[in-house]
Amino acid sequence: MQNKTMNLKACGRKSGLWLGCLMLVACAGTEERVTFVTTTQLGVSADAKTQSVDIGFSRMDGVIGPVYEGGAVPPIYADIHANASVLNPKVSQTYATGDAALIATGGASAQEEKLRGKRKTMLFGTATNVGLRLGFAPDPSISLGYIRQEYSAIPILKNGEEGDVYGSVLAHIELNVDNSDYSSSGMGIGQFIATGVAAENLAPLVRANFAETASKAMKIVECAASDTAEAVRLQALLDKPGNREELRLWLEARNIDMSPTMFAYSNCYPALQAEASKAISAND
Amino acid sequence: MRQEKMNLVPLATLGKIVAGFAADGASQIVVVPDGSGTYTVTANFE
């Protein structure tokens, strides 16, 4: 392990792409460990060493590990929600392995953890940069925006007759997102990493956050323009003062989450347009 | 957040629909021609 770590450091110094190196080093024992890496970039970056310029959103996720005879693979999970804004990025990002991944995605803990027996070294870490970063040596580089790297290299260990066990780690970051209980620090950034039982205890928080995020997701209504007689009649009524507000209230009373313009000018609710026209006309 | 997207909008009613979405309180309105003489109007509501 020490030699592999040394190789990783040497590789990282040489190329600057230490996550890629980590994966290469971990390849030496893909049946004994799981290596899980994500890199995310939202913004602009240029690197003289790699002679590349990235503009916009880029992300890489990678897993190297064993697959069992029955087709099972160790559980891992990573997600990101971002607004794709370079200057004011809003990001919610999660990274989880083992039972923490199962719990965060709605499942239940499957393996029993015990801090006894043989020990092996694991690696887990994150690196985040928000804003402007300038590099001067060994090669010039510049990045503006949000960059995050997450990695883990966790050995698979035997657990007697019960099969192998894969340890839990959990990392989560929220940047300029205001709907999280655990990121309300008064700053624009909330972040934690956790391992073992601590990761499993925090995983339900992440799962609850998913539900809240889903409920706040944008609702999209799509219809085609309509010029039927009933639609045209309702459109004419909308031109009269006060009728727009009246139609808005009429829609609200029927739990139709749609603007008066969309309702009157589209074919979303053709059967209801006549009814709405009658209701509005009756009040004239 | 709600997004309302109206396809196949003829030029004759395009102005009224855009003005209507604005009157309804849309925070953003995007008009894109679809290449067939009609337009797609997208309105975002906070």
* SS3 assignment for A186-202: CCCEEEEEEEHHHHHHH
Q: How far apart are CA B41 and CA B22, in angstroms?
A: 12
Residue appearing with tokens 């043989």: A118
How many other C-beta atoms lie within 10 A of the C-beta of residue A211?
10
State the pLDDT confidence band at B28, using cuts at 50, 70 and 90: confident
Q: Find the residue in B nearest to A246 (Cα).
A: B24
A160-196 pLDDT, tens digit per residue, is 777 787 778 888 777 765 544 443 434 355 666 667 7
At A60, list the tokens: 């890489």
CB-based contact A262 B3, cutoff 8 Å: no
Task: Note the pLDDT of residue A258.
Answer: 94
Between A221 and A10, name the one with better pLDDT. A221
Percentage above 90 pLDDT, chain B: 57
A220 at interface of B, judged by CB pairs closer than 8 A: yes
Q: Tell me the C-alpha to C-alpha distance, in Å, between residue A165 and each of A60, A70, A99, A106, B37.
A: 26, 16, 10, 19, 62
Q: Report, as an integer, the average pLDDT of A149-156.
A: 85
**Axis crossing angle, helix A229-238 with helix A270-282, rounded to the nearest 10:** 40
Strand partners, A96: A77, A170
What is the per-residue pLDDT for A115?
64
pLDDT tens digits, A173-182 = 777 655 444 4
Provide, as residue numbers in chain B, all residues whose Cβ is less than 8 Å from the Cβ of A243.
none
**Predicted local distance difference test score (pLDDT) of residue A16:** 43
Answer yes or no: is pLDDT of A68 > 60: yes
Res A181: pLDDT: 42
Nearest Cα of chain A lies from the Cα of B32 at a distance, in angstroms, of 14
Q: What percent of chain A has pLDDT over 90?
A: 18
What six digits make up the tokens of A143?
Answer: 């990045």
Chain B contact for A256 (CB, 8 A cutoff): no
Contact B6 A235 (CB under 8 A): no
From B27's Cα to the closest Cα of chain A, the distance in A is 12
Report the pLDDT averaged over residues B2-14.
92
Are A266 and B6 inside 8 Å of each other by CB? Answer: yes
Does residue A104 register a pLDDT over 80? Answer: no
Q: How far apart are CA A45 and CA A141, in angstroms?
A: 7
Q: What is the spatial order of strands in the sheet that A91-97 belongs to?
A: A76-82, A91-97, A169-175, A189-195
Looking at residue A14, its pLDDT comes to: 40
The mean pLDDT of B7-16, rounded to a whole number, is 94
Q: What is the predicted pLDDT for the residue at B18?
A: 92
According to the model, what pLDDT value does residue A13 have?
Answer: 41
Q: Give the pLDDT confidence score for residue A127 in this predicted structure.
A: 80
Min mean pLDDT across A117-126, A173-182, A191-200, B14-23 is at A173-182
* Antiparallel, parallel or unpaired: β A164-165 and A91-97: unpaired
> Smallest Cβ distance to B7: which of A219, A225, A258?
A225
Interface touch B2/A266, C-beta < 8 Å: no
Residue length of chain B: 46
Average pLDDT for residues A83-98, to the nearest whole number?
76
Using CA atoms, how far residue A109 sits from A112, A167, A196, in Å, is 8, 11, 12
pLDDT at A129 over 80: no
Residue B14 contacts A where some CB pair is shorter than 8 Å: no
pLDDT over 70 at A113, yes or no: no
Which residue bears the tokens 């889903």? A214
Triad A134, A137, A143: Cα angle to 5°: 25
How high is the mean pLDDT of chain A? Answer: 74
Tokens representing A13 are 């110094």
- Nearest-CB residue to B6 (from A220, A244, A265): A265
Q: Do A218 and B20 touch (CB under 8 A)?
A: no
How many CB atoms neighbour CB A229 within 10 A? 9
| CA pair distance A75, A150, nearest whole angstrom | 16
One-letter amino acid identity for B42? T
B3 contacts chain A (CB < 8 A): yes
pLDDT of A94 reads 84
Neighbour order of strands in the sheet with A219-224 = A219-224, B2-10, B38-45, B28-33
Higher pLDDT, residue A229 or A51:
A229
Spatial contact of A43 and A147, defined as CB atoms under 8 Å apart: yes
* Residue A165 one-letter amino acid: V
- Chain A residue whose CA is closest to B5: A222
Average pLDDT over residues B4-13: 94
